[in-house]
Structure 1
Amino acid sequence: MSLLRRPRGWAVLLTLAGVLLFLRLGVWQLHRADEKEALLRRYAAAAEQPVREFAAADAAPPAVDVLPHVRVRGEYLPGREYLLDNPRHDQRGGVEVYAPFRPQGTERLLLVDLGFLAGNGTDQTPQLPPLPGGTVELTGFYQPPPGVGFEMGGDALARQQNWPKTSIYLELGDVAKDLGASLYPRVLALEAEPASIYTREHTPDFSAMPPARHRAYAFQWFTFAVVAVVMFLFLHRKRKAQRGDLR
């Protein structure tokens, strides 16, 4: 004998839709946790790698999940800095500073991430320290460029006449067009330097939403799915007959 009353069709569909939605959100949170942990492992592995020559790393394009630890010699292009106005460093105001660099033996330019410079954003352009002149040797991580998005109004760099130029997104194609030169497909994030005015913390900052919090949210969504099923069963259970009902 069944313990449940025959449910209405809309109740079944509503419960099923809710359970599937909660399960989907829970799985998505688990995937986000795995992605962030993989990214943190990638940066940790890069820091332990031996330093390679940049030319060798570029000759064999690295896989997407590999961040080569490289050394490169060449010269900066002075007075051509770019300021990224949306860095994430402890929620402080400031900019991430990038400068074009010409490695020896090539006309192709490499965009160098000099680091984060604290300030009040680009409303008050910070005073940038001069770049070293002549041939210099740089060491850092050859990593993908900063993420891009949709910028209202199109290419902000083309509309600016003075340097440094600022943008809330930094698209390598726009930078190459602005400089009139070809760029390497990745940027060089310089290693930390105690004496530098720049803050160089290239490991992603997940303090606001660490992987563990994603898993906690996943547990909540899965719990909601279980609660939805329990509520459905509770509301459709057969009640015991009362004495008055037997007359």
Structure 2
Amino acid sequence: MTAAADPVAPPDKPARRIPIVATLVVLAAVVGMVMLGLWQVRRMDEKAALLAHYAAAPGQPSVAWPVVPLRDGALLYRRSGGMCVEPTTWSARAGRNLAGESGWRHIVLCRTGAEGPGMAVDMGWSRDPKNPVGWTGGRVTGTIDADRDHVLLLVSDAAAPGLVPSLRPSPADIPNNHFAYAVQWFAFAAIALVIYAIALRRRG
């Protein structure tokens, strides 16, 4: 009588090996994205405090136009005034009027005295970028704003002849998007982990 043959045992499956280098790269990227998200959370709180400071600025007492140029934004949205002894250079920049219409803001650089940096004043808005003529200077009052280079300028309450007042600057126009940016970075980190986990599963 023939003995039954022993069944052949199936070969052992090789153990899955996690690629060390690729895993370290992915983890480093995830940590970096999480850190960026946490930084955005900190910036969100700082921006909220800054916006609260700006919101209170219009109700603060009027300040004299600074003799020394400032770029830290401490005086933004404060009421101020100064003497334009002599208008020197005009320029036109895109902007809006009080009605929200698009057009051109007319900025003039003023000499304020024998010394000092002078003063940049938004003297009003028009649909035509051609600079106005006929304004010879004088006392100007308005709200402190900053141009695209973060240089302070005064948005005048009263417009020069032939212009209408420009839209006054408001801290409400400054967004606080840092929470959305933080959520995006955390989402990117989670997505990277999910994609890498799927890649490892398919590799196995």
The TM tier, using the shorter chain, reads: 0.5 to 0.7
1:233 to partner: Cα distance: 5.2
Q: Structure 1 residue aligned with 2:153, among 188, 210, 233?
A: 188
State the TM-score, normalizing by the size of structure 1. 0.53
2:74 aligned partner: 66
Partners of 2:30 and 2:100 in 1: how far apart?
Answer: 36
| Bigger radius of gyration among the two | 2
The equivalent position to 2:189 in structure 1, one of 197, 211, 225, is: 225
Q: How far is 1:13 from its partner?
A: 2.7
Alignment pair present for 1:202 and 2:204: no
The one of 36, 45, 51 aligned to 2:62: 51
Alignment counterpart, residue 132 of structure 2, candidates 122, 128, 138: 128
1:101 aligns with 2:103: no
Residue 147 of structure 1 corresponds to which residue in structure 2? 149
Rounded Cα–Cα distance in structure 2 between residues aligned with 1:130 and 1:76: 12
Q: How big is the alpha-carbon RMSD for the aligned residues of Structure 1 and Structure 2?
A: 4.1
Amino acid at match of 2:55: A
Letter in 2 for 1:200: L
Structure 2 length-normalised TM: 0.62
Provide, for residues 146-197 of structure 1, a one-character-per-residue CA deviation record: whole Å limited to 9, x for no partner: 327xxxxxxxxxxxxxxxxxxxxxxxxxxxxxxxxxxxxx533225459961
**Map of 2:37 onto structure 1:** 26
Question: Do the aligned partners of residues 106 and 145 (structure 1) sit closer, same or farther apart at CA in structure 2, a change above 3 Å counting?
Answer: farther
Which residue does 2:24 correspond to in 1? 13
Offset, 1:71: 2.6
Higher relative contact order (CA 8 A, sep 6+): 1
What is the CA distance between 1:141 and its match in structure 2? 4.2
In the superposition, relative to structure 1, how do residues 221 and 187 fare at CA in structure 2: closer, same or farther (>3 Å)? closer
Contact 1:145 1:187 in 2 (8 A): yes
- Which ranges of structure 2 fall in alignment gaps of 5 or more residues? 1-14
Per-residue CA deviation, residues 108-147 of structure 1 (Å, 9 max, x unaligned), is: 43221235x353xxxx63463742x46x322234555532
1:6–1:236 CA contact under 8 A, matched in 2: no
Aligned counterparts of 2:131 and 2:164: Cα–Cα separation in 1: 11
Aligned length: 180
Deviation (angstroms), 1:38:
4.7
Change over 3 Å in CA distance of 1:107–1:217 after alignment to 2:
closer
| Structure-1 separation of matches of 2:44 and 2:158 | 31
Share of identical aligned residues, percent? 30
